[in-house]
A and B are shown apart, each in its own frame.
Chain A
Amino acid sequence: MTIDFRRHRESRKKLRAAIRGGTLGLLDIGTSKIACLILKFAEGNRKSSRSEHLQDTKRLAYRVVGVATKKSRGIKSGEVAIADEVEKSIRSVVQQAQKMAATTIDNVLICFSGGSPVSKNLFGELKLETPIVETRDIGKLLSKYNFGTASSKREILHAMLVNFTLDDKTGLTDPCGLAGQTLGLDVNLMTIDQNVLDNITQCFNRCQLGLAGAVFAPYASARSSLVEDELKLGSACVDMGSGSTGVSIFLNHQMVFGSTVKFGGEHITSDIMQAFQISFEEAERIKTLHGGVVITNLDDRDLIELSSGDRAEGILNYDRPFVSRSELISVIRPRLEEILEEVDSQLDVGGFDHLPSKRIVFTGGGSQLPGFYELATDYFGSRVRIGRPMRIQGLPQALHGSQFSAIIGLAIEASYPQDEVWDFDMPFRAGATERFRLAVNWFKENW
């Protein structure tokens, strides 16, 4: 089974067209919130994006002109659950951002963490015909990979060129122009469940928006939260989302592993809801305002007043008007510990222990819980840091919180996209029957 990456290439085309056109929309489809940014690219940079390969483009100058965040609807653990509701929330958030930017967007770059992503490393080698490595050698090498069997029944989200080896040298990022005999390449293939991306694409098409690319959310938040040294020397970024917690491991500026844990802030809220028999909104409110991780003596006497729930019209008639803070923490903490345990096991899967610098950066809304840092250091030692996304131009101060690290990472990805497999032209290898079948297909499609 051959994969021609047609969809990915079309997405790349749309991304290039959007940058040339000047405006690009970014959407973070989270379980609890949906965020939209509109980027305006500077005039001078549009020309440079005309070159065919995205890797040729320099970092593009851009500015955020439109911002909107809304509660997301119809999304369950990062996947589309009710298509109609998702479409509505996309519509409202895009409209609001367009209103602020006073422009329209045609193409959007999105990130999401659903679809139970699995990261897989592929390795291939090629005997070089010429003494010097050229760009087309990379394409030739990539055509030897069997992406199809590696992703059977699944869909490819990312296929990043992680590491080049040339003879016995390793750790090369760009082998072009170097002399050698054998070229080797590690590809990190990230696959998600089939139809997850189809569902999202459908929702966007119904909003008249084209998909200029889909990005794995933990990857995006790592690009905005990790600093240069961390990217270089190897570190993990843990994005504490609401529906799921994403883990991505970076080494040498490349994501070598990515995964998600299907627990998040929403589960903590749901625990609180069940423990105190209160509404979800109320649980979310006391979690964000009064929640914590470490119990102190004072917390026993710190009583949190529950709002009377007059909105709920009698359904929510609380037995008790107060909850002590220590009770609240004792509900939150076990779930957080569980999440961290899962994260730890995922890091083990990703081979985190073999990295030179074992730093873990926590970001996302869940990492803002007071005392979370203490809990994380208990678990992972002193290599832990709470990350905040880097600043980008034009973004309001309110949106620089760590819960927006994924969408800020998307802006960085849009301006400076990482090479993926489909950015290279792979020479077509096929037998006679295969060629004939393709020819017939071509006729069928065009007549």
Chain B
Amino acid sequence: MSRSEYQLYNKTKGYPTPSKLRYRIERIWRRAWLRKLILRVLMLIFFATSLTTGLLIFKNEFKFKGLKSTMESFAFERPELSIIDLNIKGANPDLSNQIKAILQLSFPINPLKININYLQELINNVESVDFSRIRITKNGVLEVVVRERIPVALHRDEKQLMLLDIDGRRIGEVFSRLDRQDLPLVVGSGANHRVKESLEIYKLASPIINRVRGMILVGERRWDIVLDENLRIKLPEKGAKKALNGFLGSGRVMEILRQDFSAVDLRYRGKVIVRTKTTVIREENI
């Protein structure tokens, strides 16, 4: 093998060399800043194209649901954020059922979707609720603290029998007097505004309480205590308690009440005027 032959051999059988293009690309690729730039641009293009294709593909769904609600549901409808239960404190079972019915909440619910002020207003509008407080506890429970109004008297209208609290507000309807025999009964228009006074009179009348059937406000001015056997104790417009106290303090109360009178009139100071039934009949007859 001659030298020229060897050179030919050497030329054809050389080691592989990188092509010019590959050499240049590799040189560019080894420059860190250029590599980062290229990678970032490619990444940007990739994300942009994938976002646009995604939008194009799911365009109809977005239209139907609305992008906003989709995003909201994505962001907020999470078990860790939602309210899972309702806890009502300080209310009897009837009232809590009533509150539940009013609120009309179905759990779990997103806290951003409920308006607590509105809920509170709803609850406060319930007649038997004095006031309420609403908060969301840590473990996702909507807690409603309620103070109930306490019924202290029954009030008979033309038709209805209403429960009243101490301020005279109506709490609810009772269908029969027998349902709430523990509460005193007041009758007459305007009687519901004077519940406190009537209760005080009731309290004074405790010695004869087993005979008391109720109280009637006459002409929105003064009270009549109605006892059994249709006996009325007519109280004055002013100083009613004092008059009743004086009457009950006198030793002849039982004696008077035992007799068959139709009314005991205490309206005149220092005097007790009684009316017999016959007289009444007679007078009525006139």
Residues of A within 8 A of B (CB): 70-71, 73-74, 82, 85, 88-89, 91-92, 94-95, 98-99, 102-104, 206-208, 270, 273, 279-280, 312, 315-316
Contacts and interface: CB of A to CB of B under 8 A. Distances in A.
B26 A92 contact: no
A70 B26 CA distance: 19
Contacts of B258: none
B11 A73 contact: yes
Contacts of B18: 91-92, 95
B1 interface: yes
Contacts of A279: 1, 6
23 contacts: A71-B14, A71-B15, A73-B10, A74-B11, A85-B14, A89-B17, A91-B17, A91-B18, A91-B20, A92-B17, A92-B18, A95-B18, A95-B26, A98-B27, A98-B30, A102-B30, A103-B30, A208-B24, A273-B1, A273-B6, A279-B6, A312-B1, A316-B1
B271 interface: no
B1 A104 contact: no
B2 to A, nearest CB: 9
- Chain A to chain B: the 9 pairs with minimum beta-carbon distance, closest first: A88-B17, A92-B17, A104-B30, A280-B6, A91-B23, A104-B27, A95-B18, A73-B14, A91-B17
Contacts of A208: 24, 27
A85 B10 CA distance: 11
B31 interface: yes
Contacts of B14: 71, 73, 85, 88-89
B153 to A, nearest CB: 95
A207 B23 contact: yes
Interface string B22-47: 01101100110000000000000000
Nearest to B30: A104
A270 B15 contact: no
Q: Is the interface of B mostly helix, strand, loop or mixed?
A: helix
A103 B26 CA distance: 10
Interface of B: 1, 3, 6, 10-11, 14-18, 20, 23-24, 26-27, 30-31
A205 to B, nearest CB: 13
A278 B69 CA distance: 85
A279 B23 CA distance: 32
Contacts of A273: 1, 6
Contacts of A92: 15-18
B190 to A, nearest CB: 100
B1 A315 contact: yes
Contacts of A71: 14-15
Nearest to B26: A95
Given A89-B17, A91-B23, A104-B31, 18 more contacts: A73-B11, A73-B14, A74-B11, A85-B11, A88-B17, A92-B15, A92-B17, A95-B18, A98-B26, A98-B27, A98-B30, A208-B27, A273-B1, A279-B1, A280-B1, A280-B6, A312-B1, A316-B1
Nearest to B28: A104
Contacts of A98: 26-27, 30
Contacts of B27: 98, 104, 208
Contacts of A316: 1
A95 B1 contact: no
A86 to B, nearest CB: 11
Nearest to A278: B1
A97 B24 CA distance: 15
A102 B29 CA distance: 10
Contacts of A270: 3
A57 B233 CA distance: 127
A5 B107 CA distance: 90
